[in-house]
Structure 1
Amino acid sequence: MSLQLLITSGRGPAECRIALGKVVRLLRGEAEAVGLDLCEIAGPVHPQGHGPASVVLVLNGPEAARVAAAWSGTIQWIAQSPVRPHHRRKNWFVSVSALPPLPAAEAVRAQDVRFEAFRAGGPGGQHQNTTDSAVRAIHGPTGLRVIAREERSQHRNRDIALKRLAELVEIRAALERGALQDEAQRRHDGLERGNPVRVLRGA
């Protein structure tokens, strides 16, 4: 299963972008701990610094839906502002939500992709664990990379990897041209500040 999570601070101040970075790191750690393959695609760095206002995390694997559900909603960070030490506000908010499937992405050119085969781990039986059936695909023009290990056939995993790369290239392009900006702001505006699904505390 593949899911795309939009993590956004909307038009919030620098502290919200710092909170976003914390959420991304924690979510990545939780996803990797249960064996998910993931890719992080960050929007443009905010002109005032402290990272991007939005990030898309693409989760691939059997536990993707569970991890996404556990994080979807409002995330509250309670901390003294690290950029405005005397500021009275101590509550900062980030929105996490699943993106709808994108329209079919334009295929990436195979000559732009470098493939690396390696031994697949995790579920799938003895065959997966004893052959180099898993594939890592790296897109030269963007540096984006994905892993496909679901199939026992390396050829099929290459096809899956190419499709995933095409999706990532489309998401990256959408972030860079601002196509997700309105959606990110709408979702951030709609978050429930009094009902967070996760609360983070301290620096």
Structure 2
Amino acid sequence: MKTKIIQITSGRGPVECCWVVAQVLKYFIEDIKVARIKYTLLHREVGAENGTLQSATIQLKGNGLEPFLKDWLGTIQWIGKSSFRKFNKRKNWFIGIHEIEETEKMLLKENEIKFQAIRSSGAGGQHVNKVSSAIRAIHTKTGIQVLVMDSRSQHQNKKIALKRLQEKVDTYNNEQLKILVQHQWGNHLNLERGNPTRVFTGSDFKKQKINKSYKSKRQESRNNLRQEKWD
């Protein structure tokens, strides 16, 4: 089962682009569910207005992610009139959907775990105090450690310690991923206008069929250049 991190970004565009991000996120999640792909919403950067998002980052898990993402990755265009600025004449708004390269996950390897047997303290009678049944497990690479004294059995405590240490390492990986997402501002600056992967129109955000002909692309480029004057 593969894992991918996807970011939907307004490219630091105006509030209209942030509104488009929020709408696209809804469509994207609907498509994810239809494709039966597991997802986790990792981060949302809220926009200046209600119902808007500067960016959203999603983790996908499943098979067939590449063909699914082929129809989404790239520039997304919305054609519509701004509901935030009444006299703004611009009608073409662009956002981006990008894949974030994950950093290597920290794995729990047996040769990187150090176990220490120590005497349990607290309730349990003389037997607990005399036997070194408690276990401290240390992940030497990160310094993450757990102390387990749930059972009188050292063997059982060791099993529990391994499980809890794995949970802590997983939490560490998730925290590192969130840091990566928050620092992934390069995508916000590299948003390409034109040649969209998907086009939506109107306030009801309907999906529009894309015309791939050369003439339509040339006309679209001209229109985009005209729109730049109104930004």
Report the equivalent of 1:180.
184
TM-score, normalising length: structure 2:
0.55
1:22 aligns with 2:26: no
CA distance in 1, matches of 2:166, 2:79: 41
DSSP-derived class of the 1:102 partner: coil
Deviation at 1:179, TM superposition (A): 1.2
Q: Is the 8 A contact 2:73 2:97 kept in 1?
A: yes
Q: Distance in 2 between matches of 1:68 and 1:96?
A: 9
Q: More relative contact order in 1 or in 2 (CA 8 Å, sep 6+)?
A: 1
User: Is the 8 Å Cα contact of residues 102 and 177 (structure 2) preserved in structure 1?
Assistant: no
Superposed counterparts of 1:101-112, under 5 Å: 101-104=102-105
**CA offset digits 1:129-179 (Å, max 9, x no partner):** xxxxxxxxxxxxxxxxxxxxxxxxxxxxxx99988765543333344xx41
Q: Which residue in the other structure is 1:63 paired with?
A: 64
Contact 2:75 2:197 in 1 (8 A): yes
SS of aligned partner of 1:67 = helix
How many residues are aligned here? 147
**Alignment partner of 1:44: what SS?**
strand
Deviation at 1:57, TM superposition (A): 1.3
How far does the alpha carbon of each residue in 1:64-95 deviate from its partner, in whole angstroms, 9 at most, with x for none? 22221210110001111121122101111111
Q: Which residue of 1 aligns with 2:158?
A: none
**Matching of residue 170 in structure 1 with residue 176 in structure 2:** yes
Aligned mates of 1:63, 1:195 — CA distance in 2: 25
Identity of aligned residues (%): 24
> What's the RMSD between the two structures over aligned residues?
2.9
Taking the aligned partners of 1:50 and 1:102, their CA distance within structure 2 comes to: 31
Letter in 1 for 2:175: V
Q: Structure 1 residue 63: deviation in Å?
A: 2.5
Greater C-alpha Rg: 2
Structure 1 contact 79–90 (Cα < 8 Å) conserved: yes
SS of residue in 2 equivalent to 1:42: strand
